[in-house]
Amino acid sequence: MRSTNFMFGVVALCVSIADAQTPTGAKEMFGGGGDSSVIAFSGEKQHPQSPKPLKHNPEANQAAESKHSCGLSFSIELEEAPGQPGIQVSQARTFHSGERIRLHFKTNTDGNLSIVQLGSSGTSATLFPDSARGLANNTMSARVDHILPSENHWFRFDDSAGTEKLLVFFAKDQPTLDRAVPIRPVMNQTQTAELMVTNNAVSGSKDLVIETVNDGTYAVNKKCDIVAMEIELRHR
C-alpha cells in the first residue's frame, strides 16, 4: 500500500508533565514490569542502544491489567527505510526535515484518547480524532498497540524548524473525557487557554505518575481519572 504523508508543522521529542520532575514507578503501575532505566541521549544521532524494529503485535504485552489505575504509554517509531519497520528512538531526539515518524500508544484499560496540537499563536486544533483524515475512531482497547496515523502512513516533518507541542488526554470513556477536557476541532486563544488550565491541573495532580524508560514513556493516574501527557517535537 502506498504511504501518504501527514504533515507536522513542527519540531524534537521530549515528554514532560508541566514543570514537575519525572516520578518513578509508572511502568510498574501500568503493568509493564521490566527495565526502568531512563533514556537520556544527546548528540546528532540519538537512537537507542542496539535499536530493534518495532513489532506491531497487539498480544506482545501480556501483563495483567491494573484494576485501580488508568495508564497510557507512548513511544516513537522513526522510519529508516521505506517499506520497512522503523526503529524506536529516544524522546530526546532532534528530528530533521523530511524524516517520518509514527506515534505508538498503548493503554492498560479500555478508554478514549484525544490529541491536541498547540499553535504558535495561542490557538490549537485536534490532531486526533480527525475524521477528515480517516482517524475518527478514538477508542483504545487495553494492551493493543495503537499506531498514529496508521500502520501504513507516517507523519512527515516539513521544512519549518521549531518546536511543536501536543497535549494527549486519555479517559476510561468518552463522556468522562468530554466533561473534563472539552475539545473542539479548532480552538481559539480563549478556548486554548481554558484547555491549558485543565491540562496543568491534571498534570499537577498527585495521582498522576510519569516515567520514561527504555521502551517509552508511561503516565498512570492512580485513581483512574484523566491521564494527561505533554509531548514536544523539535526538528531542524
Distance between CA atoms of residues 183 and 113, nearest Å: 11
Give the residue-averaged pLDDT of 164-177: 94
Identify the pLDDT of residue 1. Answer: 46
Indicate if the pLDDT at residue 144 is higher than 70: yes
Range of the domain at 190: 5-235
CA angle 193–172–150, rounded 5-degree value: 80
Are 170 and 112 spatial neighbours (Cβ–Cβ below 8 Å)? yes
- pTM listed for this prediction: 0.75
Residue with cell 526503529: 87
Q: What is the pLDDT of residues 10-66, one digit of tens each?
A: 433 333 333 344 445 888 888 854 333 332 222 333 344 334 444 555 444 434 444
Indicate if the pLDDT at residue 110 is higher than 70: yes
Indicate if the pLDDT at residue 218 is higher than 90: yes
Identify the pLDDT of residue 23. Answer: 40
Whole-angstrom CA distances from 95 to 43, 86, 164, 199, 202 are 11, 14, 12, 26, 29
- Structurally, how many domains does the chain consist of? 1
Indicate if the pLDDT at residue 228 is higher than 60: yes
Indicate if the pLDDT at residue 143 is higher than 70: yes
CA-nearest of 133, 77, 86 to 104 is 77
